[in-house]
Structure 1
Amino acid sequence: MKHFLLSALTVVAWAAGVHAVERPNVVFMMTDDQAPWAIGVHAGPTHADTPHLDELFRSGAYLPNTFTPTPVCSPSRASLATSLYGSEVGIHDWINPRVEPDLGLEPNLTTWYECLHDAGYYTGIIGKWHLGLPDKFHPTHNGFDYFIGHRGGGWSPNNPTLEKDGQDKKFQGLTTDILTDHAIGFLEDRPRDQPFLLVLHFRAPHAAWLPVAPEDWAPFENLEVDLPDPNYPGIDTMTVKKKTREYLASVRGVDRNVGRLMGKLDDMNLSDNTVVIFTSDHGYNMGHNGIWHKGNGHWILMPDALPAATENIPQGQRPNMYDTSLKVPTAVRWPGVTQPGSTITTNISHLDWFPTLVSIAGGSSPASQPVRGRDLSQVLAGQTELDWDENIFSQYSTLHQSRTHMRSLRTPHWKLIRDFLNPERDELYDLQADPGEHTNVIADEKNQATIERLHRELISRMQAIQDPVLEMVEH
């Protein structure tokens, strides 16, 4: 990759060896299950009402082509933390405590949270963890000085039980509001002689979506929803509309609280020296291609339209690697570096946050652990003449609702999806002619050369990370 300077001021500051307190603070906000179309600035159709998020996205750089390596909670979060794929850290699907009580992010792995902590940052995480319940996987063993939240995955949208100061405590109120209250408290109580890292993992808009505040429900109570695929055979129109209203109301609660947090940064005169990142762990579907949910999707069809079950796919399930599952809404506001109102269309991955944030913080990456991502600093600074690979490799082996070994290779033109456990489910989409991925063209004879080329690169990507699914591939 070619190397470019960010800016004269940035380089001079680094070369001069600035004091830790002069380095930028970092606020990293991540929602749970937020679709790429669930923000008001989305370029396509949306019913989202997100004025505070829109302001944040316009105050920095909007990155509409941001992808998760795995479109489900735990492996996505593990990849973001370590810059390794889920298969490399042994987390292939969402961690199910009923059948995987001892699974988590192993403490011998280094996270970028640890790198910032070691670089002198005061670090806190608030909200969802979902990288292991046992104490050895606790956030405070992964680089955080402070934690309040939930070690597991699913929890209530109101009156939650959260871990605070090592003890479970019942709180009263809406979970999104409570988490933001503690994020604001972190800003107020932090040491003043260190830069800080605040990681805020919202629970919303993960189902269940209700209850929400009356002001967040009001824009959607009587909304007439336009379905993304209204002519999909057997689509359950009424259910799609109901779920959409509730989902977007949950997003609106996130938006209101993002506004609260951003306002606090302004009030404390922190905004000019704080890098703010907003993203989600993965995307979401709401009637798109006849499904709802994420990579472990569910059909949202009338009962007589449901496809029959197969050996590994129960009726009602639709595991997928659609863009609506893989893409996440993402913005970066880095004062002095990102251009306000800019849109960066480069394909990036959650794997890229590790090297990027370690670079921003002036930290060091571990010599003993691979870093699969790439430093986004030049991209965020607006450099366009970069030798940047736009192809995205993703993986998802579903273990709970279904059994699959999906691997995908996405170029700006094509997406090849192989299910190595269920090869009859293989897919090919022409993204230029069919960006909604409505027509699987893998059987078209004219595409065979393209399939062979994409398959070779897919296998090469799997080999590079020693993907265990390679054992199933016939050479």
Structure 2
Amino acid sequence: MPNKKPNVIFIVCDDMGEWAMGCSGHPNALTPNLDRLARDGTRLSNHFSASAVCSPSRACLLTGKYSLEVGIPDILCTGEGVGLDPKYTTTAKAFQKEGYRTALVGKWHLGDDDRYHPTQHGYDSFTGFRIGGEEGPLSSKDPGIEIDGTYQKVEGYTSDILTDHALDFIETKDSESPFFLSLHFWAPHANQGVSTEDGDRTWHPLKDEDWDPFKDLTPEVPNPNYPKLDINRIQRMTREYLASVHSVDRNIGRLIRALESTGTLDDTIIVFTSDNGYNIGHNGIWHKGNGWWILTDNRGDRPNLYDHSMRVPAIISYPNCVKAGQVCDHPNTSMDWFPTLMDFAGIKTKANWELRGESIASILKGERSLTDRPIFGQYQMWDWHQTGAAMRSWRTNEWKLMLDLKETVPNEFYDLRNDPNEAINIYNSEDPSIKAAQVAMERSLRKHITEVE
């Protein structure tokens, strides 16, 4: 490993499913730059967020702790007076203390009060949106963003604008210090305050070069035989969604070229991931953990911790250190990034941070294989939801258990070896072997809940 401290660019998309990339096998996705990162580095194909919606997932990413531990159970909306307490150590704060220049460009969504501002959490500067998840100016074009402490309207397409500011930061010449940049795209989140004629969500407006490859597409439907599935709606959403993903991929290409032109690509760790996964027809729903049915006779809500709501894209490229072309298919979690990046940078973690993840640096180097580990999922809905579920899940390579502690939605149990798409709920099975596995899984889940909640 090089002696020089690496730069870090940590890219987080909003609402991107692991399935939405060419390198993960989607036949309609157009992601040449992400595919290149995967070839040059390692793709984690079974990488899970610790929650299934924006704010809690972001809190877990930053702190390496579970969302209820840090008081962020669900999405945060404007004016709630709730946010991520600055007492917690974040990745940005840890790198800042080691002399790194730090910046966040893009979506924050962990409290809009000044006391929760990104600069209270280890970022030297912030350009982007404090808020997220409510009706307002957040969209794919002409966004209102905070720049140098002032909120202002900026003309242009949002992915391009955020990348412009990211490039300004990494190309700064007045410092020899390494940098830690969090680039949090709004895409491919559906737009707020913009809808189709029938009031449905849309990803438009989209830049022509992003929309043109998809506008006449008849995209693959992931679950075409699901009863009463609204195929037309799914295909319309998928076209727009993949175009929004393309806007991110195109701008990642701009970042890579900038690093190449300055000769810093080999000295830079690039991580690409998302805050949570996404469904468009998977399991008969669309959206994420606070999902909605996408059926011809039902648009009601469907809280869940399905794999597609929690499995997120994860690619890391660090030339000469991370093994190129590797695909890691054993389960790991978004909370692993904190200790892993510290490990690559040669920075020691502290026991009093109580990080829940573990460093997988040696796996990414190709020095050892990752074994099966259980993945815990957590999503506690605010009471104002139509269904105020308290979702918990426990996942191994073989089984997946989902419980609603408030019993507002059915409990679910899946045999992932024979049913990887979680199509057949066997929670009430009388099969002795299934029953024994379910009892063991529930015992492990409830034990873990007592340890972390």
TM-score normalised to structure 2 length: 0.93
User: In the alignment, what sits opposite 2:196?
Assistant: none
Q: Describe the shift of the 1:190–1:29 C-alpha distance in structure 2 as closer, same or farther (beyond 3 A).
A: farther
Rounded Cα–Cα distance in structure 1 between residues aligned with 2:172 and 2:189: 29
Rounded Cα–Cα distance in structure 1 between residues aligned with 2:428 and 2:330: 30
User: In the alignment, what sits opposite 1:204?
Assistant: 187
Rounded Cα–Cα distance in structure 2 between residues aligned with 1:272 and 1:333: 9
User: In the alignment, what sits opposite 2:144?
Assistant: 161
User: In the alignment, what sits opposite 1:392?
Assistant: 375
Q: Describe the shift of the 1:150–1:423 C-alpha distance in structure 2 as closer, same or farther (beyond 3 A).
A: closer
Q: Describe the shift of the 1:413–1:343 C-alpha distance in structure 2 as closer, same or farther (beyond 3 A).
A: same
Q: Which aligned pairs between 1:39-438 and structure 2 lie closer than 5 A?
A: 39-43=21-25, 45-97=26-78, 101-154=80-133, 155-189=138-172, 191-208=174-191, 209-303=203-297, 306=298, 316-385=300-369, 388-399=371-382, 400-401=384-385, 402-422=387-407, 425-438=410-423
Deviation at 1:211, TM superposition (A): 1.1
1:131-164 superposed Cα distances (whole Å, 9 cap, x missing partner)? 1001111111110111100101141211011101
**Residue 27 of structure 1 pairs with residue 9 of structure 2:** yes
User: In the alignment, what sits opposite 1:312?
Assistant: none
User: In the alignment, what sits opposite 1:473?
Assistant: none
1:419-472 superposed Cα distances (whole Å, 9 cap, x missing partner)? 11016610001111011111101111112111110011101211211x2xxxxx
Q: Is the Cα contact below 8 Å between 2:41 and 2:322 reproduced in 1?
A: yes
1:270-302 superposed Cα distances (whole Å, 9 cap, x missing partner)? 101111100011110001111000011000111
Rounded Cα–Cα distance in structure 1 between residues aligned with 2:46 and 2:404: 24
Rounded Cα–Cα distance in structure 1 between residues aligned with 2:428 and 2:116: 45
1:196-226 superposed Cα distances (whole Å, 9 cap, x missing partner)? 1111000000002111111111111110122
Rounded Cα–Cα distance in structure 2 between residues aligned with 1:192 and 1:347: 39
Deviation at 1:122, TM superposition (A): 0.5
Q: Is the Cα contact below 8 Å between 1:33 and 1:204 reproduced in 2?
A: yes
Rounded Cα–Cα distance in structure 2 between residues aligned with 1:436 and 1:47: 20
Rounded Cα–Cα distance in structure 2 between residues aligned with 1:191 and 1:343: 38
Rounded Cα–Cα distance in structure 1 between residues aligned with 2:408 and 2:109: 31
Report the AA paired with residue 280 of structure 1: S
Q: Describe the shift of the 1:210–1:327 C-alpha distance in structure 2 as closer, same or farther (beyond 3 A).
A: same
1:386-414 superposed Cα distances (whole Å, 9 cap, x missing partner)? 6x452101111122433011110000010
Report the AA paired with residue 249 of structure 2: D
Rounded Cα–Cα distance in structure 1 between residues aligned with 2:418 and 2:408: 24
Rounded Cα–Cα distance in structure 1 between residues aligned with 2:210 and 2:170: 25
Deviation at 1:361, TM superposition (A): 2.2
Which moved further from structure 2: 120-129 or 353-362?
353-362
Rounded Cα–Cα distance in structure 2 between residues aligned with 1:331 and 1:129: 21
Q: Describe the shift of the 1:226–1:385 C-alpha distance in structure 2 as closer, same or farther (beyond 3 A).
A: closer
Deviation at 1:103, TM superposition (A): 0.5
SS of residue in 1 equivalent to 2:28: coil
Q: Is the Cα contact below 8 Å between 1:418 and 1:427 reproduced in 2?
A: yes
Rounded Cα–Cα distance in structure 2 between residues aligned with 1:364 and 1:146: 24
SS of residue in 2 equivalent to 1:89: coil
Give ranges in structure 1 of 5+ residues lacking alignment: 1-9, 307-314, 468-475
Report the AA paired with residue 395 of structure 1: Q
Q: Is the Cα contact below 8 Å between 1:289 and 1:438 reproduced in 2?
A: yes
Report the AA paired with residue 375 of structure 1: S
1:326-378 superposed Cα distances (whole Å, 9 cap, x missing partner)? 10011011121212111112211111111111222233434433111101111
SS of residue in 1 equivalent to 2:389: coil
Q: Percent identity?
A: 44
Q: Describe the shift of the 1:277–1:165 C-alpha distance in structure 2 as closer, same or farther (beyond 3 A).
A: same
Q: Describe the shift of the 1:225–1:323 C-alpha distance in structure 2 as closer, same or farther (beyond 3 A).
A: same
Q: Describe the shift of the 1:319–1:424 C-alpha distance in structure 2 as closer, same or farther (beyond 3 A).
A: closer
Q: Is the Cα contact below 8 Å between 1:115 and 1:364 reproduced in 2?
A: no
**Residue 38 of structure 1 pairs with residue 38 of structure 2:** no
Deviation at 1:46, TM superposition (A): 3.8
SS of residue in 1 equivalent to 2:352: coil
Rounded Cα–Cα distance in structure 2 between residues aligned with 1:236 and 1:379: 42
Rounded Cα–Cα distance in structure 1 between residues aligned with 2:248 and 2:312: 15
For this pair of structures, how many residues does the alignment match? 434
Q: Is the Cα contact below 8 Å between 1:119 and 1:362 reproduced in 2?
A: no
TM-score normalised to structure 1 length: 0.89
SS of residue in 1 equivalent to 2:159: helix
Report the AA paired with residue 229 of structure 1: N
Rounded Cα–Cα distance in structure 2 between residues aligned with 1:390 and 1:137: 33
Extract structure 1 runs of 4+ deviating beyond 3 A: none
Q: Describe the shift of the 1:220–1:142 C-alpha distance in structure 2 as closer, same or farther (beyond 3 A).
A: same
Report the AA paired with residue 419 of structure 2: D
Q: 2:440 aligns with which of 433, 453, 459?
A: 453
**RMSD, aligned α-carbons:** 1.4
Q: Is the Cα contact below 8 Å between 1:132 and 1:152 reproduced in 2?
A: yes
SS of residue in 2 equivalent to 1:180: helix
